[in-house]
Structure 1
Amino acid sequence: MPKTIKPLSNNEVKNAKPKEKDYVLSDGKGLQLRVRINGSKHWNFNYYHPINKKRINMGLGTYPDLSLVNARKLAQDARELLALDIDPKEHRESKHKEKLAQEELTLEKVAKEWFDFSSKGLSKNYCDDMWRSLDNHIFPKLGKRPIGKLTAPLVSNVLDPLAKDDRLETVKRLCERLNRVMVFAVNKDYISVNPIAGVKANYNSPKRIHMPTLKPEELPELMQTLANASIKHVTRFLIEWQLHTLTRPGEAAGTRWDEIDFEKKEWTIPANRMKMRKEHVIPLTSQALQLLDAIKPLSGHRDFVFPSDRNPKTHINNETANMALKRMGFEGRLVSHGIRSLGSTTLNEEGFNADIIEAALAHVDKNQVRAAYNRTDYLDKRRELMCWWSEHIERASQGSLSISGVNKLTIVR
């Protein structure tokens, strides 16, 4: 027969004195009073987990703040949960998190926790863009709202004006980022369900707008205009560097000297600076190397090939090339990112292998099965392609003052 335990009396609880070691007084049915050597008294409920049968102690409170009568009530509540195969300690923690979500865990706090967790390994520019979009559009109206009280109508009220202004791309990104924050909150057990999972369905998908770019036959016009443009040397170097390497604006602007291997004639962009989070090696042509030689007097002693005017310890702004192209008269015709399209179109028209062109542009094959089997980056073949492309740029610049063209330009500090 199980041992019969006599319930504690109020006097026993009140008069329990500390000893040389902590000790326990049992009230029966799992309720215990632990008396510490410092004289403090704590109520515990001792039980077996309903699933794994491990013995667990759950603290209930401190005597005399929690009386014997109330301690018994809490123990009884816990036993009722156990009868339903519910762990009372886990249940209490879940309720506590729900209360936090309803009162203290604001959307902005949880978003910051999500951002700190998910931004590791991502490029700084991408992370800045993610946080800026939330900070500009979501936090001013919803940032202080407890995440447990966030609803689909509240989010829609913020997104609707953007949709009416035809800013559907912004709406799409905000929906994606908000949902990632809410899924994070569900996984952290701050909330039980994501109440805004279906908000994106309320809005039309944005129309895909291609980046403005020039036709292949307009490349000489670009080179002639660039040669005579009243722009800073570093900006001109940057535009030609992007032309010869076919890189994205952020990748080109952030070029570091320690990424360049002059012996191998290669530029290795680390994964954290690439859109697809995959390291990208670019064969450098003689024209591209000439560009680096020409800019060395300006920035060879710094970390970045294209330093910022305001703070030379950082790189030039990603939008600098775009602003220069506008001032050169190409507004609506060409943006910095469109240089890649110009190169792609030209190379495809010349009959180069499409896979090699895609590899040169650091595009990831959308066919996942095909991508799994096609692991080569065609480095040798890309070297031939890039040489042809640089020579093509050089031919287009004949008669101009292209830095990498026939008439070489040397900058002296």
Structure 2
Amino acid sequence: MALTDAKLRSLKPTDKLFQVSDGGGLFVEVMPGGAMPWRLRYRLYGKQEKVTLGDYPAYSLADARHWREDCGALVGRGVSPMALKRGDAIPDDVAVAVKERAQKFIDDWCMHVRKKIEAKEAEARAASTVKAFAERWFSEVAGPSNSNPRNIRRILDKDVIPGMGEKQVADVTADDVLAITDKIKARGADQMALATRNVLKRLFAYAIARGLTKFNPAAAVEAKYIATAKSREVALSSDEVGRLLRSIYQSSMKRANKLALHLLILCMVRKSELIEARWDEVDFDEAVWSIPGERMKKDRAHIVPLSRQALAMFDELKGLSSGSEFIFPSRNTLKKPIAHSTLNVAVRTLELDVRDFVLHDFRRTASTLLHEAGFNSDWIEKCLAHETKGIRGVYNRAEYIGHRREMLQWWADFVDAQIEEGRKVIIGRFGKAYRAA
């Protein structure tokens, strides 16, 4: 059995000399004093000879094997390695052959070393591309430190890696960052462009800490040149409303949550007013939802005229609520409504290509688009349950019911049109049974 370095290291001297073979005539002798010389047996002209190289580990196993090959070449030419070691003259042709073999060994070794260096350099270059480092940053930093890393993952996969993934981290410039953010802004997603710049800023800060670059190209691009962060002042465009609702209905979230998000847009109520709603507040015959004052922000009762679509959604939710008094009962108990974070979490799971928003922005979105459509501001403010000061505030509220019902029906039809614009999306039969009403 051939020797190994581990086996050589484990050999211990005994009272008597013993030998351990590596094959091909090569063996190591273990002397009682601990020396371990390499020796080689070979036959030349019918006689057996033995020659010594030197002690292990001064001569490694690899050295001994190369020596065995060289001795074999000499024996093949009829030259005795033992005689050469004694200093006998070497025939000219043998000397040339030995020199050529030595040169070939040197050349092969240099090529081996050069290939290893090139492989390490290629490995280092591959590890320092934006794509490779982004994966490292996400797994080591962004993923573990964020409660919702899905948005960061989406930014990396959708824009950063396709846009600059093959570039070396140290070669990325501010122009490269702007090229990506400009492309995102061209989609009408200014806030997403700003979020992407912020993700890149954090990624390159980590790259600096890891010694891959000395420059943060994203930090060199001021946020104000991309977009102004307006976390509480977002009004989605009509196109964004359509894209949002298509994403909601194409997602795997619970049906009741899909309907809840749709109703938030159609009814213009606050999230807490919707998720805490009870069935005794909904009058299907009159098509109104009466929210008691104790559940309203201003402690004043609020009436929501229901569009055909909204009424059909409540009708479907009746079958999904499992007999609970709450329209949106908790998954754990029918005696409580869903948690306040449920709809927020549901939205965060979506793959969205719209601006960053919060659910409260649905109210602002409806108000903005209704104002743009020319509807009376008083009707809109009443739908939002905003308090109106002065004479207008004491005007007979009942007079707005009819106007608000017409406006909210127009709004529900308008939202439907945004969802259905050139796409086939299964959202349900909202309003089909109530079209003639």
Q: Please classify the TM superposition score into its range, dividing by the shorter chain length.
A: 0.3 to 0.5
TM-score normalised by L of structure 2 = 0.43
Query: Looking at CA atoms only, which structure, 1 or 2, has the larger radius of gyration?
Result: 2
